[in-house]
Structure 1
């Protein structure tokens, strides 16, 4: 099969007569996945949860739309916390939530509905991941106790306390204190101004020099991808006004003059249309 061709669809063997059998859903082209996703979501809505038919429909939906997760994950590739495999995993959780919560009656494209869920899960992952390495919770809590004890002993002794003194103050063994001090090193990631190569000279290359930046085109693509289906549902006049205002950057007075309408009327139409678009973008 040519690499550019969509995978062949044949009736599902012993699954459900209403759905095509997709041997490798991950190879379905995004353009085909959009139409197929709607078909599978329609069936998922009426199938009994836990049945083989339900599991096939749900699992196929997940695999067909993993490209959405990969697309969203690329926005976070330079965050520096966790690897991309972790990001893909939490993004997939967002995709699954979107599949389980999608409402066909809202007439919103599934891709437009799913992206906010996927991005939300990834953002939550980065917000909750503050440690540079995985550290057991008991050691995370010990780090705080050590910090408080060190401050108190510095005031009392007039100098930095030793491991033995910290152990006595916390009623711990010296080995436990050492474990806590080592674990504390996992809380602070290295500075981006740290030399990035073997040359440690001050004027040498830094890690910051190798870091990429967020591509603003990704946000623009996501916004346009989500708005596309909503714009198609506007009437001709609404689409024309949106195109004149934001595509041709015309003023409301210029639009009114060309359409033979008052500026106030154009303002009301524009406000109503933008409200309709914003409402359509909101998750359920």
Structure 2
């Protein structure tokens, strides 16, 4: 399937995402329709990318299962622990920069984790919840995973950088996290993301740039 065919297939199946989202919302009244559509769109992308027509099922049936699963996973993320996780990391960031002013150097999160179990648990949870796959291409066009075989110190530094990137992504607003995921992990254009989230491509571009600005401001992107 070409990139053009892939995007056209995803666009054609987006009404299915909205249909399932409305059904889920009727069952789970507190669910936000836009959030359901965003999570379902991620499931749809996975369905299109992993569909195997030799397994005796149609793409629509396969997509229904992955779309529903993605929405349910999204609902699980609404648990209050998610906000506690982000609050813990935000407070740790504040302490971290305060220490940097005192010492003149920015302490590593790993150093802070040694004396703060709550932070260690929060960062572990944040890595699981981060919407952006860190194996996807980063905004600067390079892969997050680099082969550092034979150079353990560079590998350790790269892993630490990925963890800090996951922390920063976890602190982004939900819609910005979703746009990064759909664009970099899902490889969708701004227009296709706008269709999925029911906003204009211009609005998607604005939110995308805001997310990148925040990550660059954190020193995690060039």
Q: TM-score, normalised by structure 1?
A: 0.29
RCO higher in structure (CA 8 A, sep ≥6): 2
Choose 1 or 2 for highest CA Rg: 1
